[in-house]
């Protein structure tokens, strides 16, 4: 079967799309005049939410697939966080699980779970430089420790492999959505939220750290980084634009390859999307290894 793949990373605010994506056994059809603009995705999420308010879990994998594609298409920082907040911010764990069951597609149910369990609202919308300096301390150690523990929770590790079901370009777009967080104390209409420079700096710190943490626990994301599709920062900064204080660097523990990854790399040799990338990494780790086609 010919694989027809369209990268959505460059179609932000497209008014409509008539696209059929065939991802091996995974199909995300986007029919006719489905609107993948930011407002169009908000409308889809509104339909998703209204079904829960009416206790009618009827969202199928087509609707959820369209929402995911729209989230990738609108992948700027503000758009990603606003859409993710709307999608999972009002769900309870029970409703999320029931929705996954209603969808009936293991890949999309796992991705919904991953977005739900990785949601965080840890950055106040409007803080001053003194608060930012207090949160960061000398080197961001408290934030790093908290994020390390957060990403090790079983609810996340149990669905962390969800990205392996998606082609690299699609998965790279999803990384941004999964890693993003949203502001505490946001306006009812999220886009109307007033933020300070200090809050925006703290948001970026969390975004950088969460992206690397996702890679530290997801083999697919580490392979995406190997291929240059995802950037993993090694350092992030607390910037004090208002006061002019010196920036505080925060060194982020890297996502490294270890012997513990070997079994999963071998497993990915059977994955059509990550087979070649897994082979290259195995060659790096085991010089002289031979693959029998």
For the chain, the structural domain boundaries read 1-117, 128-287
Residue 19 scores a pLDDT above 50: no
Residue 9 scores a pLDDT above 60: no
The stretch 165-192 carries a mean pLDDT of 91
Q: Is the pTM of this model over 0.75?
A: yes
Alpha carbon dihedral 134, 139, 141, 147, in 10-degree steps, equals: 90
The stretch 213-238 carries a mean pLDDT of 98
Computed over every residue of the chain, the mean pLDDT equals 84
pLDDT tens readout for residues 119-135: 998 999 999 999 999 99
Residue 21 scores a pLDDT above 80: no
User: Quick one: tokens of 144?
Assistant: 């790093």
The stretch 251-275 carries a mean pLDDT of 97
Residue 272 scores a pLDDT above 70: yes
Residue 137 scores a pLDDT above 50: yes
Q: Which of 25-39, 95-109, 218-232 has the highest mean pLDDT?
A: 218-232
Query: Do the beta carbons of residue 203 and residue 181 sit within 8 Å?
Result: yes
pLDDT of residue 98: 80
């Amino acid at each position: 079967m010919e694989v027809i793949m369209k990268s959505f990373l460059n179609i932000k605010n497209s008014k409509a799309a008539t696209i059929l994506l065939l991802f091996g056994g995974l199909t995300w059809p986007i029919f006719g005049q489905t609107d993948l603009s930011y407002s169009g995705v908000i409308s889809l999420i509104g339909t998703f939410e209204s079904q829960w308010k009416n206790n009618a879990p009827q969202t199928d994998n087509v609707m959820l697939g369209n929402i995911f594609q729209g989230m990738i298409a609108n992948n700027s920082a503000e758009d990603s966080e606003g859409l993710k907040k709307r999608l999972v911010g009002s769900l309870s764990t029970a409703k999320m699980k029931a929705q996954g069951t209603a969808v009936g597609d293991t890949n999309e149910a796992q991705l919904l779970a991953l977005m739900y369990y990785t949601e965080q609202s840890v950055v106040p919308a409007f803080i001053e430089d003194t608060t930012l300096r207090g949160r960061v301390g000398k080197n961001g150690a408290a934030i790093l420790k908290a994020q390390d523990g957060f990403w090790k929770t079983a609810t996340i590790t149990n669905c962390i492999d969800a990205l392996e079901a998606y082609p690299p370009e699609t998965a790279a777009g999803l990384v941004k959505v999964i890693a993003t967080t949203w502001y505490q104390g946001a306006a009812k209409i999220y886009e109307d939220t007033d933020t300070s420079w200090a809050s925006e700096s703290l948001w970026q710190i969390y975004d950088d750290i969460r992206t690397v943490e996702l890679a530290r626990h997801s083999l697919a994301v580490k392979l995406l980084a190997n291929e240059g599709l995802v950037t993993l920062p090694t350092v992030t900064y607390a910037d004090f634009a208002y006061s002019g204080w010196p920036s505080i660097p925060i060194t982020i523990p890297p996502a490294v390859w270890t012997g513990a990854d070997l079994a999963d790399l071998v497993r990915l040799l059977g994955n059509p999307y990550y087979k070649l990338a897994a082979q290259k990494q195995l060659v790096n780790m085991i010089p002289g290894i031979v693959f029998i086609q």
